[in-house]
Chains A and B, each alone.
Chain A
Amino acid sequence: MNILSLFVVIPLVMLLALWLSRNIRQIRGVMVTGSSMILALAIYLTIDFIALRQAGATAEMLYTDSYTWYAPLHIAYSIGVDGISVAMLLLSSIIVFTGTFASWKLKPLTKEYFLWFTLLSLGVFGFFICVDLFTMFMFYEIALIPMYLLIGVWGSGRKEYAAMKLTLMLMGGSAFLLMGILGIYFGNGATTMNVLEIAANNHIPHNWQMVFFPLTFLGFGVLGALFPFHTWSPDGHASAPTAVSMLHAGVLMKLGGYGCFRIAMYLMPEAARELGWIFLILTTISVVYGAFSAVVQTDLKYINAYSSVSHCGLVLFALLMMTQTSCTGAVLQMLSHGLMTALFFALIGMIYGRTHTRDVRQMGGLMKIMPFLSVGYVIAGLANLGLPGLSGFVAEMTVFVGSFQNNDPFHRICTIIACTSIVITAVYILRVVGKILYGKVQNPEHLKLTDATWDERFAVICLIVAVAGLGLAPFWISNLIHESVAPILGNL
Chain B
Amino acid sequence: MEYTLLILLLPFLSFLLLGITGMRMKPAVAGAIGTIVLGAVTLLSYLTAFLYFGGGRNEEGVYPALTPYNMEWLPFNGNLHIDLGILLDPISILMLVVISTVSLMVHIYSFGYMKGEKGFQRYYAFLSLFTFSMLGLVVATNIFQMYIFWELVGVSSYLLIGFYYTKPEAIAASKKAFIVTRFADLGFLIGILIYGYYTGTFSFQPGMEVIAGADGPTAAMTLLPASALRVLPVALGLMFVGGAGKSAMFPLHIWLPDAMEGPTPVSALIHAATMVVAGVYLVARMFPLFIGYAPEVLHWVAYIGAFTALYAAIVACVQSDIKRVLAFSTISQIGFMMVGLGVCTSMLPHEGGLGYMAGMFHLFTHAMFKALLFLGAGAIIHAVHSNEMSTMGGLRKYMPITHITFLIACLAISGIPPFSGFFSKDEILTAAFEFSPFIGWTMSFIAALTAFYMFRLYYCIFWGKENKELHTAHTPHEAPLSMTFPLMFLAAVTCVAGFIPFGEFVSSNGEAYVIHLNTQVAVTSVCIAIVSILIATCMYMRRKQTFADKLAHTFKTLHTAAYHRFYMDEIWLFVTKKIIFRCISTPIAWWDRHVIDQFFNFIAWGTDATADEIRNMQNGSIQSYCIWFLSGAVILTIMLLLI
Where the two chains meet, the residues of A that have a C-beta atom closer than 8 Å to any C-beta of B are 165, 168-169, 228, 231, 235, 289, 292-293, 295-297, 323-325, 328, 365, 367-368, 371, 382, 385-389, 393-394, 397-398, 400-402, 404-405, 407, 415-416, 419-420, 422-423, 426-427, 430-431, 434, 437-440, 474-475, 478-479, 482
| A386 and B150 alpha carbons, distance in the complex (Å) | 12
Stretch at the interface among B45-53, B161-169, B412-420: B161-169
Given A393-B151, A419-B190, A296:B166 Cβ within 8 A: no
Q: List 27 A-B contacts (CB under 8 A).
A: A165-B600, A231-B596, A289-B588, A292-B589, A293-B592, A295-B581, A296-B581, A382-B155, A386-B151, A389-B148, A389-B152, A397-B74, A398-B74, A400-B193, A402-B76, A404-B193, A405-B197, A415-B193, A419-B186, A422-B189, A430-B174, A430-B175, A430-B179, A434-B175, A439-B165, A474-B74, A482-B77
Most buried by A among B77, B155, B174, B584: B77
In the complex, given contacts A407-B197, A423-B183, A430-B174, what are 5 additional A-B residue pairs having Cβ atoms less than 8 angstroms apart?
A228-B596, A231-B597, A365-B166, A419-B189, A437-B165
Given A165-B600, A474-B74, A387:B197 Cβ within 8 A: no
Given A423-B186, A438-B162, A387:B155 Cβ within 8 A: yes
B604:A325 contact, CB within 8 angstroms: no
Instruction: List residues of chain B with CB within 8 A of the CB of A231.
Output: 592, 596-597, 600
Q: Which of B182-199 contact A (CB under 8 A)?
A: 182-183, 185-186, 189-190, 193-194, 196-197
Instruction: List residues of chain B with CB within 8 A of the CB of A296.
Output: 581, 585-586, 589
Chain A contact residues: helix, strand, loop or mixed: helix
A293:B151 contact, CB within 8 angstroms: no
Given A422-B182, A426-B179, A434-B171, A482:B589 Cβ within 8 A: no
Instruction: List residues of chain A with CB within 8 A of the CB of B109.
Output: none
Question: Measured between C-beta atoms, what is the minimum distance from A167 to chain B in Å?
Answer: 11
| A296 and B148 alpha carbons, distance in the complex (Å) | 29
| A185 and B23 alpha carbons, distance in the complex (Å) | 61
Q: Which of A293, A419, A426, A475 is in CB contact (< 8 Å) with B75?
A: A475
Instruction: List residues of chain B with CB within 8 A of the CB of A397.
Output: 74, 82, 144
Instruction: List residues of chain B with CB within 8 A of the CB of A438.
Output: 162, 165-166, 171
Question: Measured between C-beta atoms, what is the minimum distance from B565 to chain A in Å?
Answer: 23
| A432 and B152 alpha carbons, distance in the complex (Å) | 20
A394 (CB) vs chain B CBs: closest residue: B74
Instruction: List residues of chain A with CB within 8 A of the CB of B586.
Output: 296
B604:A168 contact, CB within 8 angstroms: yes
Instruction: List residues of chain B with CB within 8 A of the CB of A295.
Output: 580-581, 585, 589
B202 (CB) vs chain A CBs: closest residue: A401
1/0 per residue, CB under 8 A from A, across B215-251: the answer is 0000000000000000000000000000000000000
Given A401-B193, A422-B182, A368:B585 Cβ within 8 A: no
B193 (CB) vs chain A CBs: closest residue: A404
B186:A422 contact, CB within 8 angstroms: yes
State the 5 A-B residue pairs at the shortest beta-carbon distance, nearest first.
Answer: A295-B585, A438-B165, A388-B148, A404-B193, A296-B585
Question: Measured between C-beta atoms, what is the minimum distance from A421 to chain B in Å?
Answer: 10
Instruction: List residues of chain B with CB within 8 A of the CB of A367.
Output: 165
A426:B148 contact, CB within 8 angstroms: no
Given A389-B152, A426-B179, A440:B166 Cβ within 8 A: yes
1/0 per residue, CB under 8 A from A, across B482-526: the answer is 000000000000000000000000000000000000000000000
A423:B165 contact, CB within 8 angstroms: no
Instruction: List residues of chain A with CB within 8 A of the CB of B76.
Output: 325, 328, 398, 401-402
Q: Which of B148, B182, B588, B600 is in CB contact (< 8 Å) with A293?
A: B588
B10 at the interface (CB under 8 A from A): no
Instruction: List residues of chain B with CB within 8 A of the CB of A228.
Output: 596, 599
| A423 and B186 alpha carbons, distance in the complex (Å) | 7
Instruction: List residues of chain B with CB within 8 A of the CB of A398.
Output: 74, 76
| A415 and B149 alpha carbons, distance in the complex (Å) | 23
